[in-house]
Structure formats: C-alpha cells, structure tokens
Chain A
C-alpha cells in the first residue's frame, strides 16, 4: 500500500467537495464563497502538514506514486522522439525505452527505464525492472550516441534490475557491468535524471553521468529499503527503518556530492503538476547540456573520471605502498 496515496485520499475528498460547492455557486446563484474559502484554507493546511516535511519512507512512496510522470511522459515533451528497439541478440525489453530525440533543437539520445501505470502495462514492462536484454539495448544506444556525437539523456526509474531465472541465465551481471563501462567511456556529455526510483545497480547502469539530476522527492539507494532490510535483518518489514538509515533522499545525496542538482516539485508531488514538473526537468537538462557541450571531449572524460574517483577517496593523492618486506 502506498502511504502517499493513502494520505492523499482525504485531500482528494476535499477537492471534490470544493468543486461541488463551486458548481453549486455557479448554477444556483447561491453565494457559498465563504464556505469555499474555509475549505480551501483547510485544504492548504492539510496539504502543508502532509507534504512540507516528508520522511525518507514517505519520499520512497512518493517516488513510487502510480500517477508520477514516467519516462515516456518526459519523452512526450521532447520535440521529437524516434524509438529504437532491441538488443540485436535476443529480444526487445519493454522496461527500457530509448532512441533518437530532439530536446528543443538539440539532437540527443534519450534512454529511460519505463514502468507501467496499471497491472497490465506493468506486466508488459516488468514493473520497470530491466532484464539483461534491456541493459544491452541501453549499451547499444549509448555506444551509438558516442559514435555519432549525440549527447545522452537518461531517465532513471526502477526498483532495480530484474532478479529472475532468465536474467541470471542471460548474464545480468555482465549486462550491467558492460553498461557501466560504456557510460564511463562515452565520448559525449551524459545527463542522468532520477525521476522516481533509483534502485541499486539497475539504476546505476543508466546514471554514470557528467551531471546527475534528481527530482525533489525521488530516491536513489544502494538497495531498495525492502531489499536492504531483507539483506541486513532478514526482514523486509523493517523497510521504513532502512529507508531512514540509508540516506537515500535527493537532499542527503547532494550533501555527499553524488547529486549535482535537485529539481523542485510542486507541493504534493510531481504528478500534481506533471506538465510543469516535466518542463522544469527538461530545462535543467538543456542547461546542463549547454554547459557540458562547451567542454572538449578529453576534458569531459577527465572530469567524469575525477567525479567518481573522488567518492570515497582516501589518501589517493599520495599513494604510499606499505612494504612488509622491509
């Protein structure tokens, strides 16, 4: 059960009543503006209470909200999108969408993880959990982009890579490992946006980037809170506690220097104003690409290497061997 959806129910009920009163005012020429105002104030107050300070666990649920804009919603706002399919080996994985796209007037390669909105679409898209074939498609498109000199824009939204039998048989590890390799070497600017869930290696495979952008209420974590709780405490039920400990919010990750930019969401979450949220994200992507495109390739690659090299670096600047033979 999604805790945000639950908390929204009261608000949606209030919204409905306000609408009814408005309609009544319009049709019966009865002045109910004071009632409406009272309800609107109450609405604003509840909305503020719920959304102005969300816990990590609530943010995880906001990231999973069924109405939250998905990769295809973002791609629909590109000036053009020509989808490319398949891994050229085995099949096309619908949990990854990607292809040539025009962001404004700039030609790019856009790739993202795609979950479904309803059960039927989720089954088709495997709940946004890519298989090795999906990651091989990502790698193929990233490689193509690098060859053609097209900047890469990715949208991250997954609980993680698919953990099924077929995925193991088809070398999920190798598929992700190769994706990581490709993105560290891509000779074009890479901008990644975490729009919903950033679950573990399955998210990292699309997000080794020159700039990592996160939506305000998205999360990015070494494992889903459920997965972490299962691994550490053999109890997925302790997911809320894990969410609090993992420091998985965009704000925490900016503090660690992992996230470069946070795009704000409207009160109540990105789905409350999907068009506006998407527009803000795409503006940020465009502005990042403008800056990154100015860099010579060698500098771009050096900066990308340095960015990850510094995370968890210790005495790296003065490599001193500990010689036990002495």
Chain B
C-alpha cells in the first residue's frame, strides 16, 4: 500500500513546495540535491552525515504505511506568561509555522514490519525539541495507551532538554513521563528509545535512558550537559568524539549504533523478541 496522502502532505515542505532544491551537507559541505537527499533518508550521499529529521519524514520511514496520531489536540499554554525578546506564545507560533508541527513531539500508533507499535517522534525543529508540558503530556498519553493495548513503544528522541519558558512545569514532565514509563515497563512491555542528534538534558536524564533497549544514530550528540557548558566548566576544548553515539557505545551507555537505512529492520527484529508471534528465522538479514 502506498504512503497515505496525509502523511505525504505532512512531511517536510523541503521536498515539495517552495523550498530550495539544493542544500549543503552540514558536515562535509557537499552540495546536495534535496530530492536525492530525501530519497536517501536525509543521509548525506557523500559523507554519511545523518541530517536532523522532520518528525513526519521519520514516521514515514518507520511505520509500514499506517499511522494514527494521538494527542495532536494538546497544545501549549503560557503558564509563566513568559516574555523576553518575544513572548512565549509568539515563539510557539513562529515554530508552528516553520516546522509545520503543533509541538515538539508527534505520537501515535502504527505497524512496523507487521507488528503493532506505539511511536513517539521528537522534532528538533520545534523549540529545539525541548520538553514542556505538551511534550510530556503527549508522551505520557502514548505510554498509557500503549500499556492498555499491551504493545511495545518506540520513542525517537531529539531534544535540548527541558523547556525554559515553562519553568518547573517543564522539569516536572521528567517525573510525569518517568511514572508512565515505569508503569508501562512494569507490566512487561518492551520500551525502546532511538537517540538522535541531539539528545540531552531533561530528556536524556529521563525516558531516553530508561528504555530496555537504547539505539543511537551514527554521530548523534548525546549527553546530560551541553558541550558548551562542560567546556566552560573545565575551561578546555573537548575532543570531537566526546558525547557521540560511538563514544557512548564504547562506554557502554547504549546498546547499538544503527545507520538510518538499517533502522527499521533493526527495530523490527527487536520487536520480534517481545512478540507472541513466532520469530521468522532469516539468518542472513
């Protein structure tokens, strides 16, 4: 079955209307033709750099072809009545316009290689993927509903941490999501996180690192404290490799680093182990 039209429409606007046809690789500066880049799952065709992905682009590469979103009606308020250069509602409105997203995470249900899965995908393009009350609420709703349905949950993280403009209400989402994770996992359900570039702060220090299986994308920056903060604290430059997915694999913090092209297959295999259905023996996959 082809990808549903709604999903095609909600993928990044880069591919269809208006956006420039050419872009540069952030890492190797190679000039890339956008449709080629999109077809290559937003991985640089020259150096293999994994671009930060739009949530719906990501979903389209992970689910078989069905996806039912939940929590889209949950939208941010302005609990602190935050104003700096702009008001918080103005910042949100600008990010909604630019990212075509209602908030920093998209949650819903679909199938992955034929198995039901609850899927949450954070998007760095919406306020740096920061977790405020809406992100926390949507992830909690996802885990609660997945627990009811007794199906595995996969969350793709991309986040600068807790959202400053929602203050302590944002920090408390770490507690809220943790409660939901603990109940979900406590019932014997499988929880998988895929850490993408970047994953840090309040998100890495809560559900990102609470999963049964933790996958990371190549070269993704993953850590608790931001690189700048550490460099300021120790007053020296950090090595390039520090806080990369590969560094975390070596240190034993993540289970595997998987290229984006192999991700769906890898996740499918993990899901098989948690499913009642018999595992198909395909030794050479």
Contact = CB atoms under 8 A, between A and B. Distances in A.
Indicate whether A and B interact: yes
Interface of A: 161, 163-165, 167-169, 171-174, 176-178, 180-181, 184-185, 200-201, 204-205, 208, 220-223, 227-228, 230-233, 241, 245-248, 253, 256, 258, 304-305, 308-309, 311-316, 319-325
A179 to B, nearest CB: 9
A313 B75 CA distance: 10
Interface string B229-272: 11001100010001100000001110000000000000000000
19 contacts: A164-B233, A165-B230, A167-B224, A168-B225, A171-B209, A173-B205, A177-B209, A181-B210, A201-B224, A204-B171, A204-B172, A256-B79, A311-B173, A312-B137, A313-B137, A314-B133, A319-B70, A322-B70, A324-B6
A253 B169 CA distance: 9
A100 B228 CA distance: 39
A258 B168 contact: yes
Given A167-B224, A256-B169, A325-B6, A314 B210 contact: no
A201 B205 contact: yes
A320 B251 CA distance: 42
A131 B72 CA distance: 38
A185 B182 contact: yes
B168 A247 contact: yes
A223 B108 CA distance: 31
A208 B174 CA distance: 10
Nearest to A309: B176
Contacts of A172: 205, 223-225
Contact of B68 (A174, A201, A324): A324
A302 B74 CA distance: 24
Interface in B181-209: 181-183, 186, 200-202, 204-209
Nearest to A258: B168
B145 A319 contact: yes
B67 interface: yes
B205 A176 contact: yes
A248 B7 CA distance: 41
A181 B181 contact: yes
Contacts of B166: 222, 312
Interface of B: 4, 6-7, 66-75, 79-80, 82-84, 108-109, 132-134, 136-137, 140-141, 144-145, 160, 162-164, 166-176, 178-183, 186, 200-202, 204-210, 222-226, 228-230, 233-234, 238, 242-243, 251-253
Given A319-B70, A319-B144, A321-B109, 12 more contacts: A164-B233, A165-B238, A167-B224, A177-B206, A184-B178, A200-B171, A222-B167, A311-B175, A312-B133, A312-B176, A314-B75, A324-B69
A171 to B, nearest CB: 5
Given A168-B230, A204-B174, A323 B68 contact: yes
B205 A177 contact: yes
B137 A314 contact: yes
A276 B225 CA distance: 38
B242 A168 contact: yes
Contacts of B243: 168
B224 A185 contact: no
A247 B171 CA distance: 12
A185 B243 CA distance: 30
Nearest to B140: A309
A28 B274 CA distance: 88
A245 B138 CA distance: 26
Q: Nearest 5 CB-CB pairs, A to B? A: A312-B133, A163-B225, A172-B224, A173-B204, A176-B205
